[in-house]
Chains A and B, each alone.
Chain A
Amino acid sequence: MAAPESGDGNNGAARMVTLISSDNTRFEVEAAAASLSQTLQLTILDGGGGGGDGIPLPNVDSATLSKVLEYCIKHAPAAANGGAPNATAVDRAELERFDNEFVNIDQSVLYSLIMAAHNLEIEGLQSLVAKKVADMIKGKSPMEIRRTLGFPDPTPEEQAEMNAHMLEYGWAYE
């Protein structure tokens, strides 16, 4: 990857770490990118993930992990600048464009991503994907939400409660 070298590299090449997905695929990635994950950052600071061993991630499959790393690599330079006070508007617009494209994916992939971001504690990715899902569901009615999330059909009792709610908060349903 042509990502610019982050500040802590003490010799020419950026430090690389290896991540191993649940289906045993190995990903070699710059430590700066992987460190966007709070959980990985600790391991990497302890010197883990280098050389031949790699860090196993038993909860993340290879398809999801490659997507996660795509995000991390793109966002690593800005994160390394620590909030990037000198980032230009162009850089920020480019990241925004990337983010919009990035979440333009299937619902099931979004779900896997949100779980991976949750487990790996990648704050930016977590909020990006959660925001996308929130935008997808915000216009739905309670029944549509139940169907989308696979909840069982409401019992007559629950149905009565839903109707009462709709009556009381009528303006919220128009």
Chain B
Amino acid sequence: MPESQAPPPRSSKRPRHGHLPAPTLPDDVIVEQILTRVPAAAVIRFRAVCRAWHAALTSDHFVQAHRSLRSGAHHQPEIVFFAPRPVAGGPATTSFYTCKLKVAGQHDEPATACELVTVEDLRASNLVLSGTRPCHGLTLLYQPSTSEYHVCNLSTGEHVALPRCAWANRVIRYGPYVLSSTGIGFDAAAGEHKVVRLYEGWDREQHCEVYGLRSGGGWWRSCAGQVPPHAAKGLDGRPPVFLDGCFYWHINTLRNFQGTEALRFSTPEPILSLSVDTEQFGWVPPPEERAHYSFHLAELDGSLCVAVDLRLTFEEYELWTRPTVSGSSSGSQVSWSLRCRLSLASLPRPMRDDLGRGNRMLPLASSFGGRILLATNCNEVFSYDPDGNSVERIFAMQEFVDDLVTVKPELLLNIALHEESITGVRCRRSTTGGDATQLKMKLGSTTVARRQGAAYQHRNDFRITPQLLHTLIGIAAEQYLPH
């Protein structure tokens, strides 16, 4: 950055056009000052202006500058959420929206949500986002049962279909549950995003495959490390948590291993880790006191988090966190600490019922005045104050999209944190598997206003649907029929 008072001399190559305002801004001011403030979606278009802009706007330096300006611009958390978009007679279509949340308890203005992108030929049911926040600007989208993966920047719409891969074995015949788990991580040493897929193939072998977004070429390669035996038997389609250079899988022993299987397939610990850089596996002990409870893995402000569901026994949730160890994937010395205990019983109704509904609650982020944002698979976000054990609902998807079209996710959440970013997906279409189906992506143009009163109707959430019936029959069949 030149410190001199004088503006850099103008390039003399540009002829001035007659009646148009003469250009007066030097290139570095245009790029550093103005283009860093253009929305991510426009940056993609501006790469076509000229070669110099293309080089500048795709540089890591610019991506970084754009991100830091955007994240510094507002202190409100932003989320992304998706819902089916009804198109009369058309294909299944899913829209992604972003919305700024108010945490501090002010209800001054009605919030609006902005459509980010809309994807045709994509069913919102059983659609999984790779986690509760993007990984260095990118999100992995997939439906576990179809073994098709897309990496997408939800701010710019840039996307790529990963090469076709082998089908994973199913947990049960129906529903989204498969013996596979796929996540996206960022390998800082290699400077690229890597997609890692751990699964059991139809040959009943355990596989771990890696696809590097820059280096991938057109195929998945085998992971360098040895896959622990039976690792994929504890998976169910949910993505791993990626944090600080490591993937973490919750090996769901309670659900998948029963009776003698529990003995045959036992794993040393319920949390499996994989370093994205060395591609070596390791095991992480869970909080000792809660090792045998049902929990969900999550991330909370850079720490691995375990959300323990104690609703049936104590009407409580607990959040345990474990700081990550820099540069080490083993680190069994690192201890867990109880971050907070959320007592549902002490909350006033209807908050007690609202937060207790659904079968999944995950933390999104914290530190908004000490509050923790909690999202449920009932498509709602709550702001929880651990000091006062008070909870406030700050987002309900039904207030923005038609209640009839919202879907309750079976595997993860239909809500994640959003960070506007211009990170590219880095590989050209032609380099990926030629037969992979590309997403039919459209940039969003609509803004939806919050409709107050549209939500919060008490509904009976438990309905016997054909899908549920199939799932139940499937479970029963698996129980009584040998493989």
Which residue numbers of A lie inside 8 Å of B, CB to CB?
Answer: 39, 58-59, 107-108, 111-112, 114-115, 118-119, 126-127, 130-131, 133-134, 137-139, 141-142, 145-152, 154, 158, 161-162, 165-166, 168-169, 171-174
Interface pair A171/B441, CB less than 8 Å apart = yes
Interface pair A151/B14, CB less than 8 Å apart = yes
**Residue of chain B at shortest CB distance from A141:** B45
What distance in Å separates the Cβ of B67 from its nearest Cβ neighbour in chain A? 15
Beyond contacts A108-B24, A118-B29, A172-B157: 20 other A-B pairs, Cβ-Cβ < 8 A, are: A59-B5, A59-B7, A107-B21, A108-B22, A114-B34, A126-B33, A134-B34, A134-B35, A138-B39, A142-B45, A142-B46, A142-B49, A145-B49, A149-B25, A150-B14, A150-B22, A165-B48, A169-B47, A171-B157, A173-B45
Residues of B155-180 whose CB lies within 8 A of A: 156-158
Which of B5, B13, B29 sits near A114, CB closer than 8 Å? B29
20 contacts between A and B (CB under 8 A): A111-B25, A114-B25, A115-B25, A118-B33, A134-B35, A134-B37, A138-B42, A145-B46, A151-B14, A151-B49, A165-B48, A168-B429, A169-B44, A169-B47, A169-B48, A169-B158, A171-B157, A171-B442, A172-B41, A172-B45
What distance in Å separates the Cβ of B107 from its nearest Cβ neighbour in chain A? 14
Contacts of A138 in B (CB 8 A): 38-39, 42
Contacts of B51 in A (CB 8 A): 158, 161
The 7 nearest A-B residue pairs measured at CB: A134-B37, A165-B48, A150-B23, A130-B33, A142-B48, A172-B44, A138-B42
* CB within 8 Å: A-B pair count: 107
Would you call B340 an interface residue if the criterion is a C-beta within 8 Å of the partner chain's C-beta atoms?
A: no
Which residue numbers of B lie inside 8 Å of A, CB to CB?
Answer: 5-7, 13-17, 20-25, 29-30, 33-39, 41-42, 44-51, 117, 156-158, 428-429, 441-443
A130, B429: Cα distance in complex, Å: 34
What distance in Å separates the Cβ of A59 from its nearest Cβ neighbour in chain B? 6
Contacts of B37 in A (CB 8 A): 127, 130-131, 134
**Residue of chain A at shortest CB distance from B119:** A171
Contacts of B45 in A (CB 8 A): 141-142, 169, 172-173
